[in-house]
Structure 1
Amino acid sequence: MPVITVSAIAFLRADGRVLTVRKRGTSAYMLPGGKPEAGETALATAVREVREELGIRVSPEQLESLGTFETRAANEAGHALRATVFLARGDVAPVAQAEIDDLRWEDPAAASPGSAPLNVEHVFPVLERRAAEAR
């Protein structure tokens, strides 16, 4: 099975909601991010992609590694996904641009219909565990 490699950022607001986006021509809501360019690190990819897709400027120092996860790709049937995910805390003002058609803030404790497998199977459970540990 072909593997798609991406980097993404989970933007976590103070109310616990996470920013998700839907790309043009797709139905699944996923974390903002994308595929690396030649020679680009996972961190650099994530920073570049959110700037291009949402107009969010984030510095690498603001990001915390959540991990690298493997699951099935949300929008490419027959493909696996390997995603390096970073966490950014705080308020951001995303603007859907480039290939982004829509965005929404999701509660990791109650994933909305249409959430990507990466979120439902990996990222949201990690965020929920961290929130429980912090209580």
Structure 2
Amino acid sequence: MQIIDKIAWLHLHDGKLLSTRSRGKDRYYIPGGKREAGESDEQTLRREIREELTVELTTGSLCYEGTFRAQAHGHAEGILVMMTCYSARYEGTLQPAAEIEEVVWLTYRDRPAVSAVDQVIFDWLYERQLLRA
């Protein structure tokens, strides 16, 4: 079994979750990405968010939220994604950059439009009454 290791930023506002869509993709994904060699979770997340959304996560504000697993979207059966999620404050103005074409705020009703691992995270947030229906 192959596992894709990803780090993600859970940013909620008014019961909506920040999400992104990359150019040429048909699904929304929680912002974040894969670590580069030798990077910590924090280094990975700070780099990815800076590259994708042009904001800086506030030093010392990262809070571990959970680790979630599911079939990797667009990959062969049995390839899983393991998403380690953090919340954090940020400085700057959110805007799409690099491969990101769209930045959106999603509610639970948007669950069908996200990847399988994001659906698991949507369920978890909804059960905790953090994500609006």
Q: TM-score, normalization: structure 2?
A: 0.84
Aligned residues: 129
Task: Write the deviation string for residues 53-75 of structure 1: whole angstroms up to 9, x where unpaired.
Answer: 11011134222211111111123
For structure 1, the 5+ residue unaligned runs are: none
Q: Residues 12 and 88 of structure 1 are in contact (CA less than 8 Å); yes or no, is this contact kept in structure 2?
A: no
More strand by share: 2
Q: Residues 112 and 119 of structure 2 are in contact (CA less than 8 Å); yes or no, is this contact kept in structure 1?
A: no
CA distance 1:60–1:124, shift in 2 (3 Å): farther
CA distance in 1, matches of 2:42, 2:91: 20
1:27 equivalent in structure 2:
26
CA distance in 2, matches of 1:64, 1:124: 18
2:104 equivalent in structure 1:
104
1:129 equivalent in structure 2:
127
Q: Residues 12 and 89 of structure 1 are in contact (CA less than 8 Å); yes or no, is this contact kept in structure 2?
A: no
* Runs of 4 or more consecutive aligned structure 1 residues displaced over 4 Å after TM superposition: 89-92
Q: TM-score, normalization: structure 1?
A: 0.83
For structure 2, the 5+ residue unaligned runs are: none
CA distance in 1, matches of 2:106, 2:42: 23
Please list, as runs of the form range in 1=range in 2, the aligned pairs for 1:1-135 lying within 5 A after superposition. 1-13=1-13, 15-78=14-77, 79-88=79-88, 93-107=93-107, 109-121=108-120, 123-131=121-129
| 3-state secondary structure, aligned to 2:110 | coil
